C-alpha cells in the first residue's frame, strides 16, 4: 500500500462542479480519481446477485493501493448523491461476503468533500461518512463543504480546500 490517496467522485456529471472542486484539490494532493459514474455498481442486494459488477474490483484496488479515501459528492436533496449512496450501501458486501477486503479498511483514512449550490450545508450531512469510518475502524480526517458563485470557486472555498489539502499530506 502506498501513502497516496484516491478520490471517489460520486456525481451524475463527470465534468460538473464536483469534478472542478476535485481538480482544484488535486493541484495540491495529486491523488488518483475514480469516477463512480463511469463504473457499473449495482445497489445493495441481500442475495448478493450483483457480485459481477465493478464494486469489488474497485474496492480491491483501493485497499491494495491507497492509504486515504476522499469521498467527493454533490449535495442532492439534502444528502449525498445516489451514486455515492449506492457505493456506501455496497460496503455491506465487505462485511458479509468479502470480509478479507473489508478488514483492510481498518486503519485507513477517510475524508469527505461536498459540493452544493450555495454555502449552506444540511445539518449533519457528514454523519454517514464519519460514522461509517468509525464503524469500519478508519480514521476520519474531516470534511469540507464547497460551492460556486458566478460559475467560479469563491475565494473562501479555495482557502478551505487548501487548508483541507494541507491536512491530508
Contact yes or no for 33/26 (Cβ under 8 A): yes
Decide which of 3.90.226.10, 3.40.50.360, 3.30.470.20, 3.40.50.1400 is the CATH code for 7-161: 3.40.50.360
> Which residues lie across from 32 on neighbouring strands?
6
The model's confidence at residue 153, banded by pLDDT at 50, 70 and 90, is: very high
Number of neighbouring beta carbons within 10 Å of residue 93: 20
Whole-model pTM over 0.85: yes
For 94-103, which contacts have Cβ atoms below 8 Å and span 24 or more sequence positions?
A: 94/59, 96/48, 97/48, 97/51, 98/56, 98/59, 101/56, 101/59, 101/60, 101/63, 102/136
Number of neighbouring beta carbons within 10 Å of residue 103: 14
* Domain range summary for the chain, segments of one domain joined by +: 7-161
Res. 2: pLDDT tops 60 = no
pLDDT recorded at residue 18: 98
pLDDT recorded at residue 95: 93
pLDDT recorded at residue 40: 97
Residue 41: all three cell numbers together: 455498481
Tens-place pLDDT, residues 20-58: 999 999 999 999 999 999 999 999 999 999 999 999 999
Please enumerate in sequence order all residues whose Cβ is within 8 A of that of 28, keeping only pairs 6 or more positions apart, or say none: 162, 165, 166, 169
pLDDT recorded at residue 129: 98
Res. 1: pLDDT tops 60 = no
CA end-to-end distance (rounded Å), the chain: 16
Tens-place pLDDT, residues 64-115: 999 999 999 999 999 999 999 999 999 999 999 999 999 999 999 999 999 9
Res. 128: pLDDT tops 70 = yes
Amino acid at each position: 500500500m502506498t501513502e497516496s490517496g484516491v478520490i471517489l467522485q460520486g456525481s451524475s456529471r463527470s465534468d460538473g462542479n464536483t469534478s472542478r472542486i476535485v481538480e482544484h484539490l488535486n493541484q495540491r494532493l495529486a491523488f488518483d480519481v475514480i469516477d463512480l459514474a463511469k463504473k457499473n455498481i449495482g445497489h445493495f442486494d441481500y442475495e448478493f446477485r450483483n457480485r459481477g459488477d465493478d464494486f469489488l474490483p474497485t474496492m480491491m484496488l483501493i485497499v491494495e493501493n491507497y492509504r486515504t479515501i476522499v469521498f467527493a459528492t454533490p449535495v442532492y436533496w439534502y444528502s449525498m448523491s445516489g451514486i455515492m449512496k449506492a457505493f456506501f450501501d455496497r460496503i455491506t458486501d465487505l462485511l458479509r461476503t468479502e470480509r478479507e477486503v473489508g478488514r483492510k479498511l481498518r486503519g485507513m483514512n477517510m475524508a469527505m468533500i461536498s459540493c452544493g449550490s450555495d454555502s449552506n450545508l444540511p445539518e449533519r450531512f457528514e454523519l454517514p461518512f464519519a460514522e461509517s469510518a468509525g464503524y469500519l475502524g478508519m480514521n476520519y480526517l474531516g470534511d469540507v463543504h464547497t460551492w460556486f458563485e458566478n460559475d467560479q470557486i469563491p475565494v473562501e472555498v479555495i482557502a478551505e480546500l487548501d487548508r483541507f489539502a494541507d491536512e491530508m499530506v
